[in-house]
């Protein structure tokens, strides 16, 4: 796949922040307008096959992670403003840890992109 020049330039502005492994029931990310993506990876122990970690956005169930669906990638391009909202998780069996990575872009660039987009659709 070939990236266009603007995609490459924008990609260089994105900063990842890896939070490490966090117990799913202790996990929360506050809302942040500069966040452009969130990646959650369920790290379940091998002996737990039926655990399901529920991902909530602003306290509303949004998605789930399980051994069959262990990765959640939520970005502005695919999920609208979802990455900017508050994230939390709940695992009934308390057996899931999450590997959490947030991706940020300075707000001044996000505002510029929005203004350009608005001009292009007029």
Per residue in 6-31, pLDDT (tens digit) is 554 566 788 899 998 888 888 999 99
Check: pTM over 0.75? Answer yes or no.
yes
pLDDT tens digits for range 49-101: 556 889 999 999 999 988 788 899 999 888 989 999 999 998 877 678 899 99
User: Is the pLDDT at 103 greater than 90, yes or no?
Assistant: yes
Domains annotated for the chain, with CATH where assigned, are 12-120 (2.60.120.1540)
- Determine the pLDDT at residue 5: 46
Starting at the edge strand found earlier in the chain, the sheet holding 71-75 runs: 15-23, 97-104, 35-43, 71-75
- Determine the pLDDT at residue 85: 96
* In contact, 18 and 100? CB cutoff 8 Å: yes
Task: Specify the pairing of strand 60-65 against strand 53-57.
Answer: antiparallel
Residue 100 vs residues 5, 17, 19, 53, 115: alpha-carbon distances, Å: 29, 8, 5, 14, 30
């Amino acid at each position: 796949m070939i990236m266009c020049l603007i995609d490459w330039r924008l990609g260089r502005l994105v900063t990842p922040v890896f939070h490490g492994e966090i117990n799913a029931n202790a996990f929360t990310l506050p809302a942040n307008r500069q966040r452009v993506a969130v990646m959650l990876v369920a790290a379940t122990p091998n002996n737990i096959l039926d655990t399901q970690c529920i991902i909530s956005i602003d306290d509303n169930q949004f998605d789930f992670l399980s051994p069959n669906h262990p990765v959640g990638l939520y970005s502005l391009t695919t999920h609208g403003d979802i990455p900017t909202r508050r994230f939390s998780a709940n695992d009934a069996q308390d057996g899931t840890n999450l590997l959490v990575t947030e991706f940020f872009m300075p707000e001044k660039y996000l505002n510029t992109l929005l203004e350009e987009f608005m001009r292009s659709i007029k």
